[in-house]
């Protein structure tokens, strides 16, 4: 746990990037979740009433939401990548500086090639993990919560089904995760 604390210290100078990335992802998810509602409005109000100007106007709104979602997704990728690359650069710099001050016995224990290969791959792994944390691991829960809220507001009769299905699904995910961990 102490190692995680040290790694978080490397992220502190890039805190703004690490905060903006999930906020941009939240914006993208919001735009993704609003599109079915717009489509529902097109069907219920435009197509049912045969109101072509309304359909075209709402279609434009839907395209606008998609473009805004795209901007949010690209922004999230940019800020998450900036945070991860800068974080990895700082960690790499400090680790290479530490290696330079290894004692002779420590240097004999590891070959230079092995040290460089291990450090490069480990830091690359940390960089990928941070990028995934800021993008993928944020998107999933946000999308899940947003979808549940959308079901609550748009189709309450389906919400009771969710209350039954979600615990079953959670159990299955947990069970298969534990099962695959034993392999």
Q: What is the CATH number of the domain that holds 77?
A: 1.20.1560.10
What band does 183 get if pLDDT is binned at 50, 70 and 90? low
Confidence of residue 96 (pLDDT cuts 50, 70, 90): confident
Answer yes or no: is 10 within a domain: yes
Domain limits at 71? 2-156
Is 56 within a domain?
yes
Count of domains for the chain: 1
* Residue 179 maps to a domain: no
As a whole number of angstroms, the distance between CA 31 and CA 49 comes to 26
pLDDT band at 120 (very low <50, low <70, confident <90, very high): confident
In a domain, 21, yes or no: yes
pTM: 0.81
Backbone φ and ψ for 98, nearest 5 degrees, come out as -65, -40
**In a domain? residue 181:** no
Let me know if residue 180 belongs to a domain: no
pLDDT tens digits, one per residue of 6-30: 888 999 999 999 999 999 999 999 9
- The yes-or-no verdict on residue 127 having pLDDT over 90 is yes
Residue 68 lies in a domain: yes
The mean pLDDT of 41-53, rounded to a whole number, is 93
């Amino acid at each position: 746990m102490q190692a995680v604390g040290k790694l978080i210290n490397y992220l502190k100078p890039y805190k703004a990037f690490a905060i903006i990335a999930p906020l941009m992802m939240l914006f993208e998810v919001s735009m993704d979740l609003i599109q079915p509602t717009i489509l529902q409005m097109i069907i219920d109000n435009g197509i049912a009433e045969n109101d072509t100007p309304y359909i075209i106007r709402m279609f434009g709104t839907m395209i606008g939401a998609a473009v805004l979602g795209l901007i949010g997704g690209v922004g999230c990728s940019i800020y998450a990548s900036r945070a991860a690359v800068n974080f990895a650069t700082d960690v790499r710099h400090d680790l290479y500086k530490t290696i330079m001050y290894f004692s002779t016995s420590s240097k004999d224990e590891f070959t230079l090639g092995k040290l460089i290969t291990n450090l490069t791959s480990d830091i690359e792994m940390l960089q990928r993990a941070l990028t995934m944390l800021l993008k993928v691991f944020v998107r999933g829960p946000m999308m899940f919560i947003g979808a549940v809220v959308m079901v609550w507001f748009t189709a309450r009769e389906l919400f009771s089904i969710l209350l039954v299905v979600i615990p079953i699904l959670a159990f299955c995910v947990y069970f298969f995760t534990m099962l695959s961990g034993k392999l």
